[in-house]
Amino acid sequence: MSIQLNETHDPALRSWVASANTPDTDFPIQNLPFCLFRRAGRNAVFGGGVAIGDQIVSLAALGRALEDADPLARSAAVLGARSNLNALMDAGPAAWSALRLALSRLLRSDAAPRPEILVPQAEAEFAVPAQIGDYTDFYTSIHHATAVGKLFRPDNPLLPNYKWVPIGYHGRASTIGVSGQTFHRPRGQTRGATEAEPVFGPSKRLDYELEVGIFVGGGNARGEPIEAADAERHVFGLCLLNDWSARDLQAWEYQPLGPFLSKNFATTISPWIVTLEALAPYRAAWQRDAADPQPLPYLDYPSLRDSGGFDIELEVLLQTAAMRRDGIAPARISLSNFRHSYWTVAQLLAHHTVNGCALQAGDLLGSGTQSGPQPEEAGSLLEMTAGGKQPLTLPNGEQRIFLEDGDTIEMRGWTKAGRHPRIGFGAVAGTVLPAR
């Protein structure tokens, strides 16, 4: 499925919400990403919202504002006003598109201002936007896989299945938190290369992973695979995702069955879900080296090569406790792009379900660490410090090999194309606390 451009993508559109018209906003009227929020400091039920500039449209507050809109849009708004977005996600692309069009028309500069439907983002607190039934993390960056493989298998960094199969593992949904998440340094077993037996204690090699999250919209019946060509109809949208990783725990446990305690202690996502419709002008060509195996038929589809990817810049910033104390802003340590991904969003869904596995609305897929081909595009400290051999020096002179207690990792994402305005994903931030 290829989403067509329509009036909601018009680069000339402006909003009566003035902050949506500034060139540096993540949330112009052409974006309209979804979230789950409530006013901070109030014991209210969370409900769905849509970003516009520095404000949030409360779907619960729309009331009669959409009385002239398509009935499908009105019903979608009611679903989105619930205490999670699962029902809206399950409603399907026609409902999502109708609601997007109605909100776009409601918020345009030639419409009557409706300030009563807005809540300032500065006065809001956010929650994980869906009840996530299952979480699967993939491994779609060949640059990350190769760099990490070289650390452990210099002569054979990529295992033979990598270029044939979208590799993934099942993660833990219960420890997924929204931006602002804090967590204690995980503890577990580790064993050094010269140690005869493992020891138990806090992780000493704590890392982040720069990823894109994929929220499933309408699912599939058990036993009925999703075709790659139709897969994007089952994607509600994308967010930013930090897959925190304890590298020393991982090195000891990952063979023969893969990550376990090294990954399941915390995963942090951004509050905002940018829809695939909003991203339609920012698609990217997908390429596979002619010397590599081409996708098997079930992973191939007509629009794969011309528009299978997404041109999304992905940034990582780090702020230490000392930087925060001294008023030093977070420092950029990496800048990559989602277009480098070896497998596409559609291929992930097609592969996940080809054996009959059923996905459900609200399920979350992680893209895997999004590293690019250049050293400055590394999506983890494991790569950036060559496995801990090359310390990273920060603007205040501090050095990092892996994360220390009090460190905050912030990730941002945005895209821009031609006449179309910059749209963004906001930020996802998380902070490491000392081990319990």
93: containing domain: 14-126
Same domain, 220 and 174: yes
Domain assignment present for residue 299? The answer is: yes
9, 143, 144, 352: the active-site residue: 144
* Gap between the Cα atoms of 315 and 426, Å rounded: 11
* Residue 294, annotated as binding a ligand: no
User: What is the DSSP pairing of strand 118-120 with strand 176-178?
Assistant: unpaired
Whether 156 and 218 share a structural domain: yes
User: Is 369 annotated as contributing to ligand binding?
Assistant: yes
415 marked as binding residue: no
Same domain, residue pair 283 and 313: yes
Query: Can you tell me whether residue 368 is helix, strand or coil?
Result: coil
Question: Does residue 300 sit in the same domain as residue 403?
Answer: yes
Domain boundary among 91, 126, 161: 126
In 3D space, the residue among 309, 400, 352, 378 whose CA is nearest the CA of residue 146 turns out to be 378
Per the CB < 8 A criterion, the answer to whether 96 and 218 are in contact is: no
The answer to whether position 165 is within a domain reads: yes
Instruction: Indicate which CATH number applies to the domain containing 62.
Output: 2.30.30.230
160 in the same domain as 79 = no
Residues 311 and 210 grouped into a single domain? yes
Predicted pLDDT at 1: 56
Q: Of 75, 98, 126, which closes a domain?
A: 126
8 in any annotated domain: no
Question: Do 162 and 208 reside in the same domain of the chain?
Answer: yes
Q: Would residue 2 count as lying in a domain?
A: no
Q: What is the DSSP string of 167-221?
A: -EEE--GGGEEETTEEEEPPEEEE--TT-SS-EEEE-SSEE--EEEEEEE-S---
CATH classification at residue 370: 3.90.850.10
Q: Is 139 annotated as a binding-site member? A: yes
* Residue 243 sits in the same domain as residue 335: yes
φ/ψ of residue 364, rounded to 5? -120, 135
Active site residue 144: yes
Picking from 93, 126, 159, the residue at the C-terminal end of a domain is: 126
Residue 1 included in any domain = no
How many domains does one find in the chain? 2
Q: Are 232 and 275 in contact (CB under 8 A)?
A: no
Whether residue 141 sits in one domain with residue 108: no
pLDDT of residue 300: 98
* 7 within domain boundaries: no
Q: Are residues 117 and 216 in the same domain?
A: no
Per-residue confidence (pLDDT) for residue 2, from 0 to 100:
65
In a domain, 319, yes or no: yes
Q: Do 243 and 352 fall into the same domain?
A: yes
Residues 101 and 189 in one domain: no
Please check if 250 is assigned to a binding site.
Answer: yes
Report the predicted TM-score, pTM, of the whole model to 2 decimal places. 0.97
Identify the CA nearest to 207 among candidates 255, 257, 263: 263
In a domain, 68, yes or no: yes
Output the tens digit of pLDDT for each of the chain's 436 residues: 567 899 999 999 999 999 999 999 999 999 999 999 999 988 899 999 999 999 999 999 998 999 999 999 999 999 999 999 999 999 999 999 999 999 999 999 999 999 999 999 999 999 999 999 999 999 999 999 999 999 888 888 898 999 999 999 999 999 999 999 999 999 999 998 889 999 999 999 999 999 999 999 999 999 999 999 999 999 999 999 999 999 999 999 998 988 999 999 999 999 999 999 999 999 999 989 999 999 999 999 999 999 999 999 999 999 999 999 999 999 999 999 999 999 999 999 999 999 999 999 999 999 999 999 999 999 999 999 999 999 999 999 999 999 999 999 999 999 999 999 999 999 999 999 999 9
Cis peptide before 256 (omega within 30 of 0): yes
